Structure 1
Amino acid sequence: MKKINTFWNWIQDNNQTIKNLINETPKNQKHISFWINKNLSYYCKEIDFMIVFPKSSNGKTELILTANGDTEYFNHVIDLVDNAPQLKNWKFTAFIQPLERIDELMKGIDNPYIFHEITLKASELTFLPVEYHELSHKVDIVVFLKNYNLYCDTKTLQQAIFIIMQDIVGEKSLYQNINFVQLAQVPVNMEGLIKLYDFQLFLDNLNGIELNNYFLKMWETVR
């Protein structure tokens, strides 16, 4: 608890400097970010941060604490944010949250993600559950891409998919519910494929037994 208080005391003392980070020179931004990370590492080296600046002058600056998907440190993030102080014009958030743009995804008007030579639209990604692990309550899934045969299974492509999935379902849900992700070309028979933006809805509406039966039935349709 002492380390938690030490971190938040430092944030309170320097919150105005951090709020003005976006207006600083690149050199000063790097310096301020270094000290935020340094003080955060005194509490837990495996936790990182993101700062989201408000779009309007009267909006709140958001400090997001993330475990980078490492479930071993989820409780560290939760404990830290649970003990955050009440600061005017500040919002403290545990984990990277899903983007609130499902309507855009459903209409297919979302902006594409561009990773080097790879361009992907989240609204075009589909998935199929393969296996449900009863002990961990996690699922293995296959994510289908229209141009998988063109891109092939590169590290960049895998990282791109995880970034998109994290944007869609949020950090905590992604790493608490997904065990393994396989990538594949969209099959000729697309019956039963689920839009990736419906992943959380899929989990919310099926229990473990139903998941296993569903997996066996739907996986057979595209193999």
Structure 2
Amino acid sequence: MKTITNFWNYFQQNNFVFLLLNEISKDELKLHFDKLIEILHQYNKDLDLIIKNKKNGAELIITANGNPYLFKEVELLVHHALVVERWKITAFLQPETNLTKYEKSTDKPLEYYGITLRISEMYFIPLENPNKPTDLGIKVLLKNYIVHKDNPRLREAVYIHIEHLIGEKSFANDIAFIEIGQWEGDNENQIELYNLKSYIDIEKEQLSFGNKYNLLPKLN
């Protein structure tokens, strides 16, 4: 509990630094951010945090970087969060709810170690595992896969994009395996990647309905 208390006390005392990003020098901001990370890692070295500034405040997201074995650690830390004015404290990356920018292809390219990807230009094809029919797999199709296929960071980049799109818990719990390949034009089997969360929700609903149906007594 001491490491949890230390983290929230430091954040509460220095939250204005992160709230006023544009009014503080980069050197000072880095100093405070590094210190916050350091104290977080005293609690658990594998957790991370993301700060999102908004018009009327900001949001602090505690993330396990998609590792389900650390989910309880995240939940415990956020459970003991102090109330800090103008701040929203969130456990885990949440699903993206505003898909308009992807539907209109106005989203900005996201760069990761020299890899540039746009969600609006990414697609997926559902995959099945014959040995585990309830497992959902996907093949992610990229327009520039050929350019980046030899980059050792490509899979990591794709994972991070999906995690931010559908949320950390869904990424960890709902997708069993992921393949990556080249997009080769329109195909009736492919689905826009920004619709992945909706697809997962529909699949889970159908699976749940099927399980309930199988439990019903059969008529002779």
TM range (shorter): 0.7 to 0.9
How far did residue 84 of structure 1 move?
Answer: 1.3
Structure 1: which 5+ runs fail to align?
Answer: 212-223
How far did residue 204 of structure 1 move?
Answer: 1.0
The aligned amino acid for 1:7 is F
Instruction: Find the residue that maps to 2:203 and give its secondary structure.
Output: coil
Partner of 1:156: 153
- Provide, for residues 138-182 of structure 1, a one-character-per-residue CA deviation record: whole Å limited to 9, x for no partner: 532111123323432422332332232122112222122223221
Asked if structure 2 preserves the Cα contact closer than 8 Å seen for 1:21 and 1:32, the reply is no
Partner of 1:39: 39
The aligned amino acid for 1:170 is G
Partner of 1:173: 170
Pair 18,197 (structure 1): closer, same or farther in 2 beyond 3 Å:
closer
Asked if structure 2 preserves the Cα contact closer than 8 Å seen for 1:132 and 1:208, the reply is no
Instruction: Find the residue that maps to 2:153 and give its secondary structure.
Output: helix
How far did residue 62 of structure 1 move?
Answer: 1.5
Equivalent residue runs for 1:65-104 within 5 Å: 65-104=62-101
Pair 86,190 (structure 1): closer, same or farther in 2 beyond 3 Å:
same
Q: 1:106 aligns with which of 103, 126, 147?
A: 103
Instruction: Find the residue that maps to 2:136 and give its secondary structure.
Output: strand
Q: Does 152-161 or 163-172 show the bigger shift?
A: 152-161
Q: Would you say 1:62 and 2:56 are equivalent positions?
A: no
Instruction: Find the residue that maps to 2:176 and give its secondary structure.
Output: strand
Instruction: Find the residue that maps to 2:39 and give its secondary structure.
Output: helix
Pair 38,173 (structure 1): closer, same or farther in 2 beyond 3 Å:
same
The CA RMSD over aligned residues, in Å, is: 2.9
Instruction: Find the residue that maps to 1:205 and give its secondary structure.
Output: helix
Asked if structure 2 preserves the Cα contact closer than 8 Å seen for 1:133 and 1:139, the reply is no
Asked if structure 2 preserves the Cα contact closer than 8 Å seen for 1:134 and 1:208, the reply is no
- What is the TM-score of this pair, normalised by structure 1? 0.78
Question: For residues 107 and 189 of structure 1, what CA distance do their matches in structure 2 show?
Answer: 17
Pair 12,112 (structure 1): closer, same or farther in 2 beyond 3 Å:
closer
How far did residue 16 of structure 1 move?
Answer: 3.1
Equivalent residue runs for 1:125-204 within 5 Å: 125-131=122-128, 138-187=135-184, 190-204=187-201
Instruction: Find the residue that maps to 2:83 and give its secondary structure.
Output: coil
- Give the share of equivalent positions with the same residue, in percent: 33
Question: For residues 38 and 31 of structure 1, what CA distance do their matches in structure 2 show?
Answer: 11
Instruction: Find the residue that maps to 2:126 and give its secondary structure.
Output: strand
Q: Does 7-16 or 190-199 show the bigger shift?
A: 7-16
Partner of 1:11: 11
The aligned amino acid for 1:161 is V
Count of residues in correspondence between the two structures: 207
Pair 111,38 (structure 1): closer, same or farther in 2 beyond 3 Å:
closer
